[in-house]
Amino acid sequence: MGDKTLDIENVYTAYDKADVLEGVSLSVRPGRITCLLGSNGVGKTTLIRSILGLTAPREGRITFGGRDITGMSTHRVIATGIACIPEGRKVFPKLTVTENLRIGAYQVKAEAAIRERMNEAYEIFPRLAERRSQLAGTLSGGEQAMLSIGRGLMSSPDLLLIDEPSLGLSPLFVKENFNVIQRINERGVTVFLVEQNVRQTLAISHYGYVLGKGRVVAEGEPDTLTDNEEVNQAYFG
């Protein structure tokens, strides 16, 4: 059960000279689904890269459970209990479903623990259990999305970062995957959900932030965000 807060304080991140993130601050509280909404190119993935130590912030601070993880190597960030499901899913196409899941548990030594987690993943995704020996590259897009979530769960994370899970999926799979994210959260995993799909994301979130160009332009409970005129302006305008 996750009990650690992820705190992002005044983070500036740049790839070359120009800052993509210009002083982002937000909190992902334990046990909740917190979402970050924003249109193309505002810096959502860059924020995830900053958390994971893939692109270190040039200024600001990121802490997880009070521990400073700013600019830490990705390997060490993951060891603190954070897992990430990247945009575009990225399963290993030539490996089976089971082999893909095992990769998610690469930091786990005990075979019994790996088995237990795998059974849990198959319980959450019966559709994957039926296809456990199938090559991941032959799964449908929606099934690959499930597999990438399942793989993220194999490290038993406290916090799951999910980057645009609805991207390129049919409405039915989007609905199914969002249901799964909600169920995973009910099992005690804290979720930071980065999305463009406003309505469905807010429907499952406890709290939300809206990223404008490089900075947070609004935050609040889902109800207040749906009706907020400024949000609609910033987001769609």
Of 34, 46, 144, 201, the one binding ligand ATP (CB under 6 A) is: 46
Residue pair 81/4 in contact (Cβ under 8 Å)? The answer is: yes
Residue pair 218/58 in contact (Cβ under 8 Å)? The answer is: no
Please report whether residue 43 would count as binding ligand ATP according to CB under 6 A: yes
Residue for token pair 């039926």: 130
Please report whether residue 52 would count as binding ligand ATP according to CB under 6 A: no
The residue range among 1-9, 44-52, 88-96, 224-232 that interacts with ligand ATP, by the rule CB under 6 A, is 44-52
Residue (133 or 236) nearer to ligand ATP, CB: 236
Rg of the chain over all Cα atoms, to the nearest angstrom: 17
- Virtual torsion, Cα 68, 207, 191, 71, nearest 10 deg: -20
Binding mask 4-33 for ligand ATP (x = CB under 6 A): -----------x----x-------------
The residue range among 35-43, 142-150, 184-192, 197-205 that interacts with ligand ATP, by the rule CB under 6 A, is 35-43
Please report whether residue 38 would count as binding ligand ATP according to CB under 6 A: yes
The residue range among 37-45, 67-75, 140-148, 181-189 that interacts with ligand ATP, by the rule CB under 6 A, is 37-45
Please report whether residue 44 would count as binding ligand ATP according to CB under 6 A: yes
Residue pair 25/184 in contact (Cβ under 8 Å)? The answer is: no
Of the candidates 55, 7, 68, the residue with the CA atom closest to the CA atom of residue 192 = 7
**Structure tokens belonging to residue 160:** 């799951």
The residue range among 43-51, 105-113, 139-147, 184-192 that interacts with ligand ATP, by the rule CB under 6 A, is 43-51
- Virtual torsion, Cα 56, 86, 91, 105, nearest 10 deg: 70
Please report whether residue 234 would count as binding ligand ATP according to CB under 6 A: no
Instruction: Give, as one character, the DSSP assignment of residue 72.
Output: -
Binding mask 68-107 for ligand ATP (x = CB under 6 A): ----------------------------------------
Of the candidates 156, 112, 104, 162, the residue with the CA atom closest to the CA atom of residue 128 = 104
**Structure tokens belonging to residue 90:** 């990225």
**Structure tokens belonging to residue 194:** 């980065």
Binding mask 163-202 for ligand ATP (x = CB under 6 A): ---------------------------------x------
Binding site residues, ligand ATP, CB under 6 A:
15, 20, 38, 40-46, 196
